[in-house]
């Protein structure tokens, strides 16, 4: 049995992370998932509903990960572990969408105290994201960089609110007799801070970055976080960042997002294809200064990923010779 009464397992939701997640889940009694409660989840765990039918009812950006996670959770459920879905922010967001579907107006949502803050934060994130998309295809590089920073600031506020709400909900589940494994996406580091505050030192909390062995083997940096994620976390933890560093991270993120593979990648020749891709792309963009990013962005902003990769790789090789 682990001496950690609460373990937060930070990891992207990918197949390559599941063996590491299994290892830590196995030594805890309660598994807390980073997702809102969904219909038929209990039926799936109990085996009354097939995993294939359960997945048909719930869209997933990473279907193979979701399928394998369901298999894993069903096994743990059968062994006597409790499994709970806890993500209040997304649950409230679903409630807001349902209100809009029934014809409610924004001002009516704003009059609901439990939903107001989530609505305001999500509205700002959506506005800045739309502004970024519009800017990214037509504006000068400097203006696109500003739109990246505004989105990162809004996303940081969302990240903190999600963590605050989730920490409160997890703390309400905690008992002194039960050890807990908490699933957390690799961007959700603020959860540790807020959960520590909620538990007020009553429980020993340990943090595990599940893919650390893989990332170390790949010689990845910053736990393989891309520059845009690093920028968001700066705003999340410090609410400020030196202007030049913010511009550099935002500029690099524009190149990074053109190069990174976004489809689900499954282990095969590589045991960790997503992590490997991230390490390769990060090494490329880490070699770029702000002016490099400006020059490259004008050449690749409308290019395919394959073309953008060729252009950036050629630029970096030429630059280093």
What whole-number distance in Å separates Cα of residue 275 and Cα of residue 15? 11
| pLDDT at res. 21 | 97
* Across 248-273, average pLDDT: 96
Nearest of 143, 145, 147 to residue 293 by alpha carbon: 145
Percent pLDDT > 70 in the chain is: 98
* Across 142-170, average pLDDT: 98
| pLDDT at res. 321 | 66
122-136: per-residue pLDDT in tens?
999 999 999 999 999
Per-residue pLDDT band for 15 (boundaries 50, 70, 90) equals very high
43-80: per-residue pLDDT in tens?
999 999 999 999 998 888 899 999 999 999 999 999 99
* Across 256-282, average pLDDT: 96
| pLDDT at res. 286 | 97
Residue 174 has pLDDT above 80, yes or no: yes
Residue 102 has pLDDT above 90, yes or no: yes
| pLDDT at res. 131 | 98
234-244: per-residue pLDDT in tens?
999 998 899 99
197-231: per-residue pLDDT in tens?
998 866 789 999 999 999 999 999 999 999 999 99
Task: Please say whether the beta carbons of 149 and 253 come within 8 A.
Answer: no
* Across 265-269, average pLDDT: 94
Per-residue pLDDT band for 1 (boundaries 50, 70, 90) equals very low
| pLDDT at res. 60 | 84
* Across 149-153, average pLDDT: 98
Average pLDDT, rounded, for the chain:
95
| pLDDT at res. 167 | 97
Angle 141-173/113-136 helices, nearest 10 degrees? Answer: 150
Please provide residue 271's backbone torsions phi and psi, each rounded to the nearest 5 degrees.
Answer: -75, -20
Residue 176 has pLDDT above 80, yes or no: no
Residue 7 has pLDDT above 60, yes or no: yes
* Antiparallel, parallel or unpaired: β 180-184 and 205-209: unpaired
């Amino acid at each position: 049995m682990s001496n950690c009464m609460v373990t937060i397992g930070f990891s992207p939701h990918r197949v390559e992370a599941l063996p590491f997640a299994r290892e830590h889940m196995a030594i805890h009694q309660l598994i807390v998932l980073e997702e809102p409660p969904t219909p038929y989840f209990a039926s799936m765990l109990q085996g009354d509903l097939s995993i294939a039918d359960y997945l048909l009812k719930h869209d997933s950006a990473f279907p193979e990960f979701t399928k394998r996670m369901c298999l894993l959770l069903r096994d743990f459920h059968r062994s006597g572990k409790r499994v709970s879905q806890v993500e209040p922010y997304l649950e409230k967001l679903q409630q807001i969408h349902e209100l809009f579907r029934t014809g409610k107006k924004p001002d009516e949502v704003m009059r609901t105290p439990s939903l107001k803050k989530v609505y305001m934060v999500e509205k700002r994130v959506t506005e800045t994201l739309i502004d970024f998309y519009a800017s990214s295809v037509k504006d000068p590089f400097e203006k696109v960089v500003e739109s990246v920073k505004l989105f990162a600031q809004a996303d940081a506020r969302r990240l903190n609110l999600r963590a605050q709400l989730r920490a409160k909900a997890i703390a309400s589940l905690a008992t002194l007799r039960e050890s807990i494994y908490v699933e957390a996406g690799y961007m959700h580091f603020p959860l540790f801070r807020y959960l520590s505050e909620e538990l007020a030192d009553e429980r020993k909390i340990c943090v595990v970055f599940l893919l650390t062995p893989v990332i170390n083997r790949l010689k990845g940096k910053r736990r393989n976080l891309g520059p845009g994620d690093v920028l968001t976390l700066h705003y999340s933890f410090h609410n400020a960042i030196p202007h030049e560093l913010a511009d550099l991270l935002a500029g690099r993120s524009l190149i990074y997002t053109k190069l990174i593979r976004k489809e689900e990648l499954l282990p095969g020749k590589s045991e960790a294809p997503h992590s490997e891709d991230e390490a390769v792309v990060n090494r490329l963009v880490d070699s770029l200064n702000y002016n490099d990013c400006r020059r490259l962005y004008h050449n690749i902003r409308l290019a395919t990923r394959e073309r953008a990769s060729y252009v950036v790789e050629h630029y970096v090789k030429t630059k280093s010779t």
